[in-house]
Amino acid sequence: MSFSLPETFAKLPRYPLLYPYPSPIHPLPALTRHLNHNPRSAPAVSLFAKREDHSSPLACAGNKYRKLEYIVPDILSNSSLHGPGERSEAKATTTLVTEGAIQSNHTVQVASVARRLGLEAIVILHKATGGGLTASSDKDVFLRTGNVQIARLLGAEVRMLEDSSTVDNSDPITPILEGLRAQGKVPYWIPSGASLHPLGGLGYARCAFEIAAQEKEQLGENGRFDYVFVACGSGSTVGGLIAGFKLLQKIEAQRQDENAERVIGRKVIGILNSPTKPREYHEGRVLNFARRAAYLIGLDPERDVTPEDVQLDDRFAGTAYGELDQTSKKTLAFLAQEEGVIVDPVYTVKVMRGVMHWVQVGELIRDWSRRLESSPSEGRVNALFIHTGGQSALSAYADIE
């Protein structure tokens, strides 16, 4: 399946890390039947999954590979525009450096990309990020299995820090980068989740076009996914999708000779996975990421992407990032036993809790009615759950049965 991008977007350099075909979309029939418990209610909601965990041949496929496709050309450029610090002379990158929580999926995918590019990888893991380690019944297992084990198998140097921080003049990351430079190496810093990287949202802006191309195959000529549910951690996956779908909405409006605001677009709902920061903080970040991606792909970021385009739900974040509560355990087991689909314990299990709630209590249909400015009496509403991967962390959660 092929799809085309507008000229401005298509010209942006991208290094292929994914399979040469879209990650699959498939229906979730058991979940659809379970949640549409009243057959007389209309419209019914049909649920589908887009399997980003099947998107790449590289280790532990997941959403970060899409982001990294647009970052790799900058990594390979001897005069990088977006790497850390200024270079006095053009030198090729030798080492990818990134950070995350102990069971970070992002760090594994960066380490795998380093292997593909023939580079070294240093993975910095923060013990204090989230509650996964604190809540673990076997902390030794949590610190050496799952994604930690895989990062080491990939040849990454894993460094564990006691505190949690981001790069600034006083944190522990800057001395690590300076130490590498003192050894004659050329490090390239990739922020956690790749979201703070200027190119971090482009991969999922492109994914929006991929989803649109798959709609005809799954839903027929005029079908579309009315809602897209996805995890919101660092934020650029959500921001990129918003930018991509806004560009699609504008293109569709031009084809229909309509004002873009009159065309009902696909609605992205980000499910937050951490209660550490308030929802408003994440909304501001996602809006910034969406506008940054929008500018790069040819939109007017201020006019075409508005705060109303950002909808985040913080009701399923639980008590801490990375901590698996009883409700999430039940959701994980339900999806495994009813659909044969395994979600991860940090991100996608919370997204699935959100999807189930939105459908089961009627929130999705009420929202759809508001968007139509009328009460829908027939037809179906199509909702897409984006599975961003992460199952490789499951072995670290020793108390899951």
* Catalytic residue ranges: 104
Cβ atoms of residues 23 and 211 within 8 Å: no
Backbone angles phi, psi at 336, to 5 degrees: -65, -45
**Cα 64 from chain centre:** 7
Largest CA distance in the chain: 70
Cβ atoms of residues 237 and 390 within 8 Å: no
Cβ atoms of residues 313 and 364 within 8 Å: no
- The CA dihedral of 334, 335, 341, 343, to the nearest 10 degrees, is -100
- Strand bridging mode 227-232 / 187-190: unpaired
Backbone angles phi, psi at 356, to 5 degrees: -60, -40
Three-state DSSP state, 309: helix
Spell out the alpha helix ranges (H) of 220-344. 236-255, 279-296, 301-304, 326-339
- How far is residue 387's CA from residue 376's CA, in Å, rounded to a whole number? 29
Give just the sign of the alpha carbon dihedral 151, 153, 155, 159. positive
- How far is residue 384's CA from residue 137's CA, in Å, rounded to a whole number? 34
Reading phi first (left if > 0) and then psi (alpha if -120 to 50, else beta), residue 351 is in alpha
End-to-end CA distance of the chain: 39
- How far is residue 66's CA from residue 203's CA, in Å, rounded to a whole number? 5
